[in-house]
Chains A and B, each alone.
Chain A
Amino acid sequence: MALENRDGNLYYYRSVRRGDEVRKVYVGSGDLALIAYEQDVMSRAAEEHRRQEERHELEQLEALLAPVLEIGGAAEILARAHLIAGGFRRHKGEWRRARSA
């Protein structure tokens, strides 16, 4: 978005993306340009604030779930160790009793 001052007059343009293409769209001039510009600045700030809050929430959620993941990994290692120590081996994804066991 751009607020342009040409010969003492204000002109406001918004950048609009359509696919890979970014187009500059005329919004207005004079007071209207200023109002639209300030409105856009406020909307962007609110949007950024919302995104930050969401990031923070996701981080908290991930921290909350981390112990479940850690214990899941531990359980996997322990189960595998028990099976191998118990004389089993994996064959094409399937657990079988090893001949040597």
Chain B
Amino acid sequence: MPGALERYQLPPEDKERLEELRELSKRAEEGDEEARRELKRAVRESSPAVIARASDVSRRAQHMLIETAAGGSELTHYALSARLDVMRGEIAGDDPTPLEVLLTEQVVSCWLWITLLDALNSGQFWRGAEKAIRVGPSYLRQMVKIQESAHRRFISSIQALARVRKLQAKTPGIQFNTQINLR
């Protein structure tokens, strides 16, 4: 379903901006002063829109994960959505910057990802599960691999948010005029 998945992907122009930011960051880190100046301009001018759209795509992707995890149960759907709202509020805190909002969305998405995988995997280890519905060892191995990757990403998303917060606190913030509503 490539058409349906477009709603869950960044538009090509944002991917180009990201590539530009990645390249400029690399050159600036290597000591290229011109690249650093260019990066400052790019961060000021193009990153707020990319951040806003990435946050938006992230929320839509979470919705898709919630639908899958709920498996048609309205109660589970409601409970998971409410849980994510609480998490967003707790993690983002008061008056988060747009970048903090995006990083918060990433933490929440990874948590949801882990929850979904835990639910899918735990059924396989339940003693009462019929032999017929159990899956093969290669499938389980693959699932465990995905689960490990989800855990790694969850930890690194928390680290990224903490790092940005810690370092931003030491520097005068960059002013953005982008509003993202958390609730």
On A, residues with C-beta under 8 Å from B are: 50-51, 54, 57-58, 61-90, 95, 97
Q: Report the Cα distance A69→B150, complex, angstroms.
A: 9
Name the contact of A81 in the complex, choosing from B24, B57, B106 (C-beta under 8 A). B24
Q: Report the Cα distance A68→B160, complex, angstroms.
A: 15
Q: Report the Cα distance A69→B51, complex, angstroms.
A: 15
How many B residues are at the interface, by size bracket?
A: 35 or more
Contact A77 B22, beta carbon cutoff 8 Å: yes
Inter-chain residue pair count (beta carbon < 8 A): 137
Q: Contacts A54-B136, A61-B146, A67-B58; is A77 near B167 (CB within 8 Å)?
A: no
Residue of B nearest to A98 (CB): B36
Contact B29 A84, beta carbon cutoff 8 Å: yes
CB distance from B1 to the nearest CB of A (A): 8
**Is B163's beta carbon under 8 Å from chain A?**
yes
Contact A66 B136, beta carbon cutoff 8 Å: no
Q: Which of B140-176 contact A (CB under 8 A)?
A: 142-143, 146, 150, 153, 157, 160, 163-164, 167-168, 170-171, 174
